[in-house]
Amino acid sequence: MRAIWKGAITFGLVNVPVKVYSATEDHDVPLHQVHDKDGGRIRYRRVCEIDGEVVPYEHIDKAYDDGERTVVLTSEDFAALPAERSREIEVVEFVPSEQIDPLLLDRSYYLEPDSTSNKAYVLMRRTLEETDRTAIVKFALRQRTRLAALRVRDDVLVLQTLLWADEVREAAFPSLDEEAKVTDKELAMSAQLVTSFEADFTPDEYEDDYQVQLRKLIDAKLEQGDALDTAETFGEQPEEGEGAEVIDLMEALRKSVESSKSARSGGSKTSGGSSSGGSRSSGGSKSSGGSKSSGGSTAKSGSGRTASSSSGKGSSGSRSKSATSDKGGSASKSSRSKSASKSSSTTSKSTRKKASA
């Protein structure tokens, strides 16, 4: 990775020099535009509307137009801003982590110590871990003052930029002004459906189906050219009808719960197709190297770990009962096996005695 910025976290009189790295990257297949007639690549040029000439990046400035006047701002103007010159990540307060609304989270960055000793870095990390707080910081990056949350992830300080309060829209929907009446029975059935899908979230078990299918399409087209048969590549796909509005909510919930139970009792049943590296069951299960059942059980092949739950909740009580039942069953089988073995041995001895007589 290449550092995109250098600065220092300021925490009272403590100064923590750090390098900043982008923590995420795009995995989309790179595509460009072409002319459908001859395949010629489409190019966009930065053309000046006055002289019609193509303008290189180094000769492009920015401007603000208020409707009557235009103010041109050069790169020197931006560099002169006090906030732009600052190389500090200033800690302004420490807040309970649960108070940060995930809706505010924007981009994520890793911070690496940028000094011969990482003691100050470790001090900041330990402080955040032991106080169970998130630091709110301010800093300037790429011609913007940023508000960010500073927290710990796998022993590394992570900077997550936050949207400003006025950048979040208000969710004002007239359709929600009048609260719909939900019965206790509907709520209980819905909770039962949720239970049937309970599991621990493992991001590695999920994949971008669109990108997987797009790569498969590209590989097939490279091999077969325009003679490609998409039905042969992806199989016959059912026609998608318009989603009908659910009239009987209770009936829909009941059928969903029954479908989930059926999927659990019958094992992992695929919904008619599988993608590269994993499959999704009709009851919401998905496997990627391992399998996740709709009943909330998770198994990873090769790990030797299996967590299961007869009710989908995975409580220790149900596991204990299940284990006891298994042991009892094994003991019963073992007892029957020993009894049959003794009976067979006795019969054999009796037969040999008669033959000898």
pLDDT at 141: 84
| Region 334-341 average pLDDT | 44
Pairing of strands 70-73, 88-96: unpaired
What is the C-alpha separation between 202 and 307, in angstroms, rounded? 13
Whether the predicted pLDDT of 155 surpasses 60: yes
Structural domains in the chain, sorted by start: 1-23+75-166 (2.40.290.10), 273-304 (no CATH)
Q: Is 296 left (phi over 0), alpha (psi -120 to 50) or beta?
A: left
pLDDT at 225: 81
For the entire predicted model, the pTM comes to 0.61
pLDDT at 9: 94
Contact predicate 292/283, CB 8 Å: no
Least confident of 14-18, 162-166, 193-197, 265-269: 265-269
pLDDT at 258: 80
Whether the predicted pLDDT of 248 surpasses 90: no
pLDDT at 99: 93
Confidence of residue 114 (pLDDT cuts 50, 70, 90): very high
Whether the predicted pLDDT of 331 surpasses 80: no
Taking CA atoms, 323 is separated from 238, 294, 335, in Å, by 43, 21, 18
pLDDT at 332: 42
Between residues 253 and 191, the one the model is more confident about: 191
Confidence of residue 167 (pLDDT cuts 50, 70, 90): very high
| Region 294-304 average pLDDT | 39
Confidence of residue 238 (pLDDT cuts 50, 70, 90): low
Between residues 330 and 88, the one the model is more confident about: 88
Phi first, then psi: give them for residue 293, nearest 5 degrees.
Answer: -85, 160
Sign (positive or negative) of CA dihedral 91, 93, 95, 99: negative
Whether the predicted pLDDT of 58 surpasses 80: yes
What does the DSSP 8-state code read for residue 18? E
Helical residues (DSSP H) of 175-270, grouped into ranges: 184-196, 209-224, 230-234, 249-265
Whether the predicted pLDDT of 54 surpasses 60: yes
What is the C-alpha separation between 119 and 70, in angstroms, rounded? 50
| Region 123-147 average pLDDT | 90
Between residues 159 and 83, the one the model is more confident about: 159
Side chain identity at residue 160, one-letter code: Q
Whether the predicted pLDDT of 275 surpasses 50: no
Between residues 10 and 275, the one the model is more confident about: 10
Confidence of residue 1 (pLDDT cuts 50, 70, 90): confident
Percent of the chain with pLDDT over 70: 70
Pairing of strands 145-153, 305-307: unpaired
Least confident of 191-195, 226-230, 335-339: 335-339
What is the C-alpha separation between 263 and 283, in angstroms, rounded? 6
Instruction: Give buried/exposed letters for 85-119 (b at 16+ CB in 10 A, else e).
Output: eeeebebeebeeeeebeeebeeebbbbbbbeeeee
Phi first, then psi: give them for residue 232, nearest 5 degrees.
Answer: -75, -35
Q: What is the mean pLDDT of the chain?
A: 76
Beta strands in the chain, from DSSP E residues, in sequence order: 5-11, 14-22, 62-65, 70-73, 88-96, 105-113, 133-140, 145-153, 156-162, 279-280, 286-287, 290-292, 298-300, 305-307
Q: Tens digits of per-residue pLDDT, 194-232?
A: 988 889 999 899 999 889 989 988 888 888 887 778 777
